[in-house]
A and B are shown apart, each in its own frame.
Chain A
Amino acid sequence: MNDPIIQLAVLPVVKLVVILTVLLIIVAYLTLMERRVLGLMQVRLGPNRVGFAGLLQPFADVFKLFVKEDLTPAGAQKFVFLLAPVLIFVPSFIVWSVIPFGDSFTIAGVTIEPFIADINIAVLFILGISSIGVYGIILGGWASNNKFSLMGGLRSAAQMVSYEVPLGFAVVSVLLLAQSLSMVESVESQRAAGIWWFVPGLLGFGIYFVCAVAETNRNPFDLPEAEAELVAGFHTEYSGMKFALFFLAEYMNMLLVSSLAVVFFFGGWLPPFPNLLAGLWALPVLSWIPPVFWFFIKVISFIFVFMWFRGTFPRYRFDQLMAVGWKWLLPLSLANVLLIGLGVLVLRG
């Protein structure tokens, strides 16, 4: 059954469709999850009317955004205004092509790898592609012909550029441990080492997570859209589906940085203690659990932490945010790379 037509033509298309659909549904339900989780923290219920316990709420929201009037403000640069949401939305999808969701498995004689591509420079690919998103933000802010949007866009550009640097260095520390730029090998190296990289790379993980929150413009670093100051930041003037694209991209990025954290630091699709408890995971009761389940559970826990932050923290001021990035995280991440590098050198020879 492993004939080349299936392997090269049918499978990738099926995988693309499945991954895109599942991602979109997950993102839609993340919005519901966020509202319910915040409701839980804020002594209220959250949306629970549409469908059973509000489970159809995301669809109602999407429908609402579809039928909303799509306004373009007077004096806006029409083409750029249209381009901006696309520029932020598309990269947030492209990067999913290299995220591994699980081990390869076989159905009806066809070996399926639950990822679209395992390229040997996946990490660089992700960092590169996700950086494009900042253009969407700054162009959207500029093209709106609104001072609040412009300030939001500028803030966001400065923020994302500054936090990408320590984020990159935090990832470098994992690359040193995994000895590979491939995402799949990053996970496999954790299985081989019998330890998840967040143990040796605890500092790196801390830096990564702080930067990830800043990269996704989430509380307490949600300055670009600090509603109390800048109304809605760079997407103040956007409505309808254009707004929805920004909105989806934000959740998509949140999902992405959580997935990266899981792949780099928390063993990807591996169950807890894959070697130590190998016997346990092989038990018939537990062996049916697919690797995707573990991946998903870990990612959702991270996303819960994001929401928890939002329910807890006030917002940093812009200059304080930049100070945290450049004065603390950058030196720390450099020192971390040095330490991990030395450690790897000494232990591996």
Chain B
Amino acid sequence: MSGPERSLFDLEEMEINFGPQHPATHGVLRVMVKLDGEKIVESKPIIGYLHRGTEKLFEQMDFPQCIPHTDRMDYVAAATNNQGFCVTMEKLLGITVPPRAAYIRMLLAELQRLASHLVWFATHAIDIGAITPFFYNFRDRDEILDLFEEYCGARLTLNTMKIGGVPFELPDGWLDRCRAFVDAFPAKIDEYETLLTENRIWKKRTVGIGVISAEEAIDWGLTGPPLRGSGVKWDIRKVFPYDHYDEIDFEVPIGVNGDTYDRYLVRVEEMRQSVRILQQCLDKLPEGPIMARAPKVLRAKEGMVYGSVEAPKGELGYFIVTTEKGTKPYRCRVRPPCFINLQAMPAMIEGHLVADMVAVIGTLDIVLGEIDR
């Protein structure tokens, strides 16, 4: 690149290899960046360092055996991964989930959304240099993980749903503890916000950074908060309700400018909405069985199905192809929200500075386990 507009110091562009071992790449993302000074000329995300062949593994597994493998994709939001797979399989097999099971699922999924957003908040803030929110977030995330542990014994890879319902009845007193947590949580969101929302430096670092318009966001196939931050009201829980989300009253927060700050506000508001959903689920939780009547060995007809749920990061979809009387997926393709959201990163950071790249990686809220599968 040379020309009359270039300055006297016509320096070479520097190529920097960001990651795969780097504190701000949220795992093993590697980004090749071409820098002009500190300005990003070109960037290329390189993925695959956490590839575990999950989709191929599905082909060797009976349907119920697939569920633990879904845990390991987006490992900070295992419950919604389970939910996505179960919802899709139920759609394929025509199983209706009993209401109590659906409500327990929603409880778990929304708790998981809170936990996932807390991890996002913590890492995003720490990337931009605010180290303190991290500890507040993880303190409260631990309470959620305690609830999970009490319910299913695991804290991270939950394996907590089954095709046709949920595996366990809620333990004694779990509902009270859950309610206590949910009631206390809005005050905690306020606490996080006091550190950042009106902070001048935070605003300087996020307003107008990584802007993506609504049209571009749709063109890139963005979902979840990155799409809603650009002002598109699209939430799978509203547009294609699954479980019993259609009985729940909640808002879908959207942003205006499609920048990092708006996505931040959208996610914070989503946490408040999750609290609303949780409160309603706790109020409405019906009595009844927790498993649908389904055969012990699930056999599918020949066919294909696509089902999706609103995972904390965006639309998590499963496309499953089955054979006649097959007990395993012939092919299972996962639509991971992070993978598709990450595609937009080079466009979002071009012309910004290195520091903004870190902010944009944070705002996309990627999990490499899900991108590489």
Residues of A near any B CB (own CB < 8 A)? 38, 41-44, 147-148, 151, 219-220, 222-223, 226-231, 310-320
Measured CA separation A183–B101 after assembly (Å):
75
Q: How far is the CB of B364 from chain A (nearest CB, A)?
A: 15
Residues of B near any A CB (own CB < 8 A)? 14, 16, 22-24, 38, 125-132, 134-136, 139, 195-196, 199, 201-202, 204-205, 353-358
18 contacts between A and B (CB under 8 A): A41-B132, A42-B132, A42-B136, A226-B355, A228-B23, A228-B358, A312-B132, A314-B129, A314-B196, A314-B199, A316-B129, A316-B201, A316-B204, A317-B205, A317-B355, A317-B356, A319-B38, A320-B205
Q: Which residues of chain A come closer than 8 Å to B196, judged between CB atoms?
A: 314
| Contact B127–A319 (Cβ < 8 Å) | no
Q: Indicate which residue in A230, A231, A314 contacts B130 across the interface (CB closer than 8 Å).
A: A314
Q: Indicate which residue in A38, A44, A231, A315 contacts B129 across the interface (CB closer than 8 Å).
A: A315
Q: Which residues of chain B come closer than 8 Å to A42, judged between CB atoms?
A: 131-132, 134-136
Known: A228-B127, A229-B358, A231-B22. A43 touches B353 (CB 8 A): no
Give 15 new A-B contacts, CB below 8 A, not counting A151-B16, A230-B354, A317-B355.
A38-B132, A148-B16, A151-B38, A151-B354, A226-B129, A228-B126, A228-B128, A310-B131, A312-B132, A312-B195, A314-B196, A314-B201, A316-B201, A316-B204, A318-B38
| Contact B204–A320 (Cβ < 8 Å) | yes
- B21's nearest neighbour on chain A, judged by CB, is A231
| Secondary structure call for the B interface | helix
Q: Which residues of chain B come closer than 8 Å to A231, judged between CB atoms?
A: 22-23
- A147's nearest neighbour on chain B, judged by CB, is B16
Q: Indicate which residue in A220, A227, A311, A316 contacts B132 across the interface (CB closer than 8 Å).
A: A311
- B355's nearest neighbour on chain A, judged by CB, is A317
Measured CA separation A44–B131 after assembly (Å):
13
Q: Which residues of chain B come closer than 8 Å to A41, judged between CB atoms?
A: 132
Q: Indicate which residue in B130, B131, B135, B354 contacts A229 across the interface (CB closer than 8 Å).
A: B354
| Contact A43–B23 (Cβ < 8 Å) | no
- A232's nearest neighbour on chain B, judged by CB, is B23
Q: Which residues of chain A come closer than 8 Å to B136, judged between CB atoms?
A: 42-43
Measured CA separation A158–B132 after assembly (Å):
28
| Contact B24–A313 (Cβ < 8 Å) | no
Measured CA separation A320–B129 after assembly (Å):
14
| Contact A228–B24 (Cβ < 8 Å) | yes
- B24's nearest neighbour on chain A, judged by CB, is A228
Measured CA separation A311–B132 after assembly (Å):
6
